[in-house]
Amino acid sequence: MKKLVSLLIIAAILFSFGGCNKGGKIVSVATSDTLSFIIKSNGTVEPIGLGENDTSTDGWKNIKKIAVAFNYITYEGSVAAALTNDGKVMVNYYDFSNNDGVVENTYNAEESGNFEKILECENVIDIATDGKYVYALKDNGEIVLDVCSNMYNSNSLPEYDFSDFKDIKSISAGDTFLVGLKNDGTVVSVGYSALGGTNVSDWKDITAITSVNEYTIGVKSDGTVIAAKCIINDDDHDMIKTYKQDYYNAEGELDFENWTDIKDIASSGRHTVGLKSDGTVIAVGNNDDGQCDVSEWTDIIKISACRHNTYGIKSDGTIVVAGRDLEE
């Protein structure tokens, strides 16, 4: 039976981060396959997976959300964007180019002159990143898209048409696309997804969305969960048809047709986690590291998921983790 990370390890994590005494209790976790960040009630941030001498987030104050993702195009680094309570954005880039999971270099975008458009933004209400680009949703509905100039040795940006992104309240980014949840419960998208992550135009009564890799998953107002459909077209090349057939829901990560009473979701692209209204948690998909072993969790108010782990935040600000030991 796959193991839940022990309470001793969790206690050690909380102690090393100051727990609930220094900086307030934990209010959320932002996680990717390579990096995770804890946000505390006083707006400070602590990274998981970096050395104890890391100072990359020391200047991040008054933070209410972090978006983090690994760049699976270059396989060289992760982007972490932080949204402050006063509507501004900060960005760090973590270089993993030695390919052994160790950060070679971290730059602060403000000091390095990268992501200039994003750093100049004001009145931002939501952020998203796919590890290549950073997106900011402003309170006037404008979407700002920016890229680190040294990721591809260029400043090239996709020519996305955001004209349908009106009356948007939240955004989420997949590998090569962005989706937006509108105030009326409908969803819009821009970009491309081979497995159909942008097929959301007919969605209604949606209360929460998440996009990761090639997927978009939504929670409906009745507590059920849906996924954007992967459509195999007659004129698709045989290789494309095979790709869609082989990779869509390949590990059962979308087997949530019978879920009910769900109020929030998180996904790694390999497993999907649902937070129920009663504070319990359910999960489907890949469980090689025990990341789906969440059935005994209670009193959970927020969830997050990455390739090897699932995180839950309890109402008292403590954290539980299912999956790979964080010391590995």
- The mean per-residue pLDDT over the stretch 131-159 comes to 83
Q: Is residue 282 part of a domain?
A: no
Determine, yes or no, domain membership for 80. Answer: yes
Please report whether residue 319 resides in a domain: no
Q: Has residue 186 been placed in a domain?
A: no
At 16, the pLDDT band (50, 70, 90 cuts) reads very low
pLDDT at 153 over 50: no
Nearest in space to 105 (alpha carbons), one of 61, 169, 148: 148
At 223, the pLDDT band (50, 70, 90 cuts) reads: very high
Q: Give residues with Cβ within 8 angstroms of 72, minimum separation 6.
A: 131, 175, 213
Query: Does residue 82 lie in a domain region?
Result: yes
- Rounded Cα distance between 328 and 313, Å, is 21
DSSP code at position 7: H
pLDDT tens string 304-314 = 999 999 999 99
Pick from 33-37, 52-56, 67-71, 204-208 the range whose average pLDDT is largest: 204-208
Q: What is the mean pLDDT of residues 123-147?
A: 96
CA atoms of 322 and 289, how far apart (whole Å): 8
CA–CA distance, 177 with 164 (Å, rounded to integer) = 14
Q: How far apart are CA 118 and CA 147, in angstroms?
A: 9
Dihedral over Cα of 222, 224, 227, 232: its sign: negative
Q: Is residue 257 part of a domain?
A: no
Q: Does the residue 120 lie in any domain?
A: yes
Question: Cβ neighbours of residue 133 under 8 Å, at least 6 residues apart?
Answer: 145, 146, 147, 157, 158, 173
3-state secondary structure 159-219: CCCCCCCCCEEEEEECCCEEEEEECCCCEEEEECCCCCCCCCCCCCCEEEEEEECCEEEEE
Confidence tier at 15 by pLDDT (50, 70, 90): very low
- 136 has a pLDDT exceeding 60: yes
* Tokens coding 40: 């505390």
pLDDT tier for residue 154 given thresholds of 50, 70 and 90: low
Average pLDDT, the chain: 89
Alpha-carbon gap, residue 164 to 145, rounded angstroms: 15
Task: Write the DSSP symbol of residue 75.
Answer: S
Weakest mean pLDDT among 6-15, 63-72, 74-83: 6-15
pLDDT, tens digit, 9 for 90 and up, residues 101-124: 788 888 899 888 889 999 999 999
Residue 171: name the closest of 81, 99, 92 by CA. Answer: 81
Asked whether residue 98 carries a pLDDT value surpassing 90, the answer given is no
**Mean of pLDDT values over 250-279:** 98
The confidence score (pLDDT) of residue 18 equals 39
142 C-beta neighbours (distance < 10 Å), count: 14
User: In the predicted model, what is the mean pLDDT of residues 75-100?
Assistant: 89
> What is the model's pLDDT at position 12?
39
pLDDT surpasses 60 at 279: yes
Q: Which domain holds residue 41?
A: 32-157
Domain count, the chain: 1
Residue owning tokens 């006083």: 42
Q: Is residue 99 part of a domain?
A: yes
Residue 317: left if φ>0, alpha if ψ -120 to 50, beta else—which one? left
Residue 160 confidence class, pLDDT cut points 50, 70, 90:
very high
Tell me the three state secondary structure of residue 118: helix
Q: Is the pLDDT of residue 8 over 50?
A: no
